[in-house]
Structure 1
């Protein structure tokens, strides 16, 4: 079989790994290999980080004004818009996400670069009203240096953009390490970076596995910030590695997000939101609304309608326009979904729909699945599946709904379905999640921060905060007095 060969992008050139080793990538819709990539090791990570560091201190990048950086980002956004169809097809081929969704993502992706381009020359310090009349003090925001961006397989370019755009706007340089399961679209981004006019070494892309290439990045002494999206287990390794280089961290991890449906909700809208929240993208989303908390008075109706809609979901080739749910990205993730459903049933959950693998062209498909649980301690109510699987539970009062919503170690997202505006605001304040959607679900914007509480990580991506998180704050003191300094042994 002829595989498409891809290369890494380091210091403005496409190249192989120093070892010459490569690995194959499988397309999840058929479980067949379709492309191959260089298998980077610590040696390659060091080369990429060194290139990024040299670019960071070079006049070609460090000498640019913030406005000039913004223009480069805007040009890159334009190029992504021009190539959105190619990028969408690459992502759908390599991770199984619907072409309808990847097209939508690629169509919106330039907005992240436009927004951050506009912020590049608006990163301002402050003049401080210090309590010393002969002194002036002010603050500056300066770029950190080399940023390591480690990106998972479920939305590679989107999750790269929300790291890359603010990091570059702030004046940093990057080394990006995509998942070994979905590297093609990010490698393709390298060509667009070059066409946009970024100096060599400002953006570098290495491909390979987490324990080798990824781990080497997180502990490299020249890396000043690690932006990681992925699972909590890997994040713990990232945190431990950061003890070696004291790198700043932003961690966007998993979730076990509740969707809370009250009796006064628009049921049609709520059912669509539930389907969008957990069956879209085959449930392979950090913000998947995988816990359904439904008021007892409407519980049977909502569950029945979700099951009926699930039964009509068209499962198949993600590149086909009519498909509504594609495959799981990896065989391992398919096994996890299958095993977790069986585990939940053994603990007393009742299967209402789905729960089976689907035979389709040899790919890794799983049915949209809904189970009922009478206990919040069931493993399916507590553990992230990262698949098209949701568990429903009844509640009777708002207080009970809130307790169930917060009965988790995660805190990434939540959906609240009600026409009662006071209740919506009460719960938005009380639910421990970084993102609250009221009467909608799975909405993003370049202007809106994304991040979680608890085991969902820390730090925020998106919005003005994202740019500032890639800067170091410096305080400058200026002596305005013409008199000699006073006693050198006394601190002013």
Structure 2
């Protein structure tokens, strides 16, 4: 597949050569995209700026109509788009199809939510004054999306921006740009006007610098690592750019001794091993109360040993490859460090990195401790380390002992204990007996160094709106 830029309603392959897109399951080339840079990014922003006045004045109903056409086309072609995703990043096909459906949910949610952008009137302090509050689109929005959810993260940013009346420029991850290209082809088919949506592939550093410095840009929305988020924040300071940053995580899972152990294992499996552990909200460290560690560990070991590893296009595969060698090496390093510091491998603990394909077997580690890398850094792989604790307060303290605060999970059948955990965990997303809490209608985002702002829900639309106060002297 040959990917292209989409700028001002036209497709092009301009740039400094091409970038090869590789299949991490086979090491084969899937396709190419143009290696764009400053020139292409500038053209896309200028097209979006030119289209903004007309697009921002269209009715929410007209915008919703176009968005629902896009939504329907995406679902109609979900098998094809999912196969592209699986080939370029390795996600099992069933998961990829689920991601396309999740992406479509954001489009339909915000298509409707855009009709509910309300202002308000405020009682004035004088009889001859009136106070009005209006909402208006923030302007040209630029986005940088990650490789691990190439469809969902695009839709979660693009849909609310369009619904709010903003124009949009996207830069997908270089590892997974082809999914974005196909999504844009379907959006073009839906009938969005020229310049309203734009796509640029290529150099992250060159395109990013234009995104954070161009005077026409009013908002940057980014999902990725905390380190890159901090750099973008520094670059954006010169123009006081409006930012939404969804950054790294280091999610704890707490299993209390009154939990339904079978359900807790199911929840941990869903959270930990989705996308081979390559999600920012997946459980990265598991804290289990002392009295149930043996039983829980045995059941988790049994469930993990049943997972099928392989090419995501093969029937029944549940764990695909890691996306690249750097990701594989980090997982292997974390496991080896844990073993060296006393962890016991219950299942897995090894992998294969041959012929540019990178598979790591789902792994459960017992006797983890706070000195291990896996308990202090985001692993981004299929590794489940288990550490015991004694009291609920200790579990909360262990869970909060990190600079991240994106997602946390716990399992308990007690309302009082669960309420204590829910209220004291310093995380933007908390799953109570739920390993998969994400939903289009709910706000997604983190505390501390896990980001700024929320995506999804009504909060996700507010992120693309400005509040204007109008004081009227009669």
Q: TM above 0.5, one fold?
A: yes
Task: Flag structure 2 segments of 5+ consecutive residues without an equivalent.
Answer: none
Q: Contact 1:380–1:391 at 8 Å: present in 2 too? A: yes
Out of 23, 30, 33, the residue aligned to residue 29 of structure 2 is: 33
Task: Flag structure 1 segments of 5+ consecutive residues without an equivalent.
Answer: 481-492
Within a 5 Å distance, the mapping from 1:230-309 to structure 2 comes to 230-309=224-303
Residue 416 of structure 1 deviates from its aligned partner by 1.2
- The 2-side partners of 1:421 and 1:330 are apart by 43
Q: Contact 2:57–2:165 at 8 Å: present in 1 too? A: no
Out of 376, 383, 388, the residue aligned to residue 377 of structure 2 is: 383
- The 2-side partners of 1:89 and 1:218 are apart by 33
Partner of 1:136: 130
Q: Flag the 1:308–1:166 CA change in 2: closer, same or farther, 3 A.
A: same
Residue 56 of structure 1 deviates from its aligned partner by 0.6
Residue 393 of structure 1 deviates from its aligned partner by 0.7
Q: Contact 2:324–2:357 at 8 Å: present in 1 too? A: no
Partner of 1:125: 119
Provide, for residues 55-106 of structure 1, a one-character-per-residue CA deviation record: whole Å limited to 9, x for no partner: 112x3x2331122112111111111111111111111111101101111121
Q: Contact 1:179–1:209 at 8 Å: present in 2 too? A: no
Partner of 1:49: 45
- The 2-side partners of 1:189 and 1:422 are apart by 45
- The 2-side partners of 1:404 and 1:72 are apart by 48
Out of 420, 425, 430, the residue aligned to residue 431 of structure 1 is: 425
2:107 aligned counterpart, secondary structure: helix
Q: Contact 1:223–1:245 at 8 Å: present in 2 too? A: no
- The 1-side partners of 2:416 and 2:407 are apart by 20
Q: Flag the 1:362–1:22 CA change in 2: closer, same or farther, 3 A.
A: closer
Partner of 1:90: 84
Residue 351 of structure 1 deviates from its aligned partner by 3.2
- The 1-side partners of 2:386 and 2:213 are apart by 41
Residue 373 of structure 1 deviates from its aligned partner by 4.3
- In the alignment, is residue 5 of structure 1 matched against residue 7 of structure 2? no
- In the alignment, is residue 165 of structure 1 matched against residue 165 of structure 2? no
| Larger displacement relative to structure 2 (368-377 or 169-178) | 368-377
Provide, for residues 389-409 of structure 1, a one-character-per-residue CA deviation record: whole Å limited to 9, x for no partner: 122110111111111111111
- In the alignment, is residue 183 of structure 1 matched against residue 180 of structure 2? no
Q: Contact 1:221–1:244 at 8 Å: present in 2 too? A: no
- The 2-side partners of 1:94 and 1:51 are apart by 29
Out of 143, 150, 154, the residue aligned to residue 149 of structure 1 is: 143
Residue 342 of structure 1 deviates from its aligned partner by 2.0
- The 2-side partners of 1:428 and 1:391 are apart by 22
Provide, for residues 13-33 of structure 1, a one-character-per-residue CA deviation record: whole Å limited to 9, x for no partner: 1101244x1110110111221
Out of 407, 422, 430, the residue aligned to residue 416 of structure 2 is: 422
Q: Contact 2:325–2:353 at 8 Å: present in 1 too? A: no
Residue 361 of structure 1 deviates from its aligned partner by 7.3
- The 1-side partners of 2:201 and 2:445 are apart by 26
2:312 aligned counterpart, secondary structure: coil
Provide, for residues 140-183 of structure 1, a one-character-per-residue CA deviation record: whole Å limited to 9, x for no partner: 11111111111000011101111111111110011111100001
Partner of 1:366: 360
Please identify runs of 4+ aligned residues in structure 1 that moved more than 4 A.
359-362
- In the alignment, is residue 217 of structure 1 matched against residue 214 of structure 2? no
- The 2-side partners of 1:374 and 1:288 are apart by 18
1:140 aligned counterpart, secondary structure: strand
- The 1-side partners of 2:56 and 2:249 are apart by 38
Residue 478 of structure 1 deviates from its aligned partner by 1.0
Q: Contact 1:26–1:181 at 8 Å: present in 2 too? A: yes
Give the total of aligned pairs: 474
CA RMSD of aligned residues (A): 1.5
1:352 aligned counterpart, secondary structure: strand
1:387 aligned counterpart, secondary structure: coil
1:70 aligned counterpart, secondary structure: helix
Provide, for residues 403-429 of structure 1, a one-character-per-residue CA deviation record: whole Å limited to 9, x for no partner: 111111111111111111221122111
Q: Contact 2:102–2:440 at 8 Å: present in 1 too? A: no
Residue 362 of structure 1 deviates from its aligned partner by 5.5
Q: Contact 1:100–1:321 at 8 Å: present in 2 too? A: no
- The 1-side partners of 2:328 and 2:363 are apart by 13
- The 1-side partners of 2:212 and 2:330 are apart by 27
Residue 111 of structure 1 deviates from its aligned partner by 1.9
Q: Contact 2:103–2:156 at 8 Å: present in 1 too? A: no
Partner of 2:14: 17
- The 2-side partners of 1:307 and 1:228 are apart by 36
- The 2-side partners of 1:348 and 1:141 are apart by 57
Partner of 1:400: 394
Residue 360 of structure 1 deviates from its aligned partner by 7.7
Q: Contact 1:277–1:290 at 8 Å: present in 2 too? A: no
1:298 aligned counterpart, secondary structure: helix
- The 1-side partners of 2:342 and 2:319 are apart by 28
Q: Flag the 1:425–1:474 CA change in 2: closer, same or farther, 3 A.
A: same
Out of 295, 310, 313, the residue aligned to residue 316 of structure 1 is: 310
Q: Contact 1:29–1:361 at 8 Å: present in 2 too? A: no
1:156 aligned counterpart, secondary structure: coil
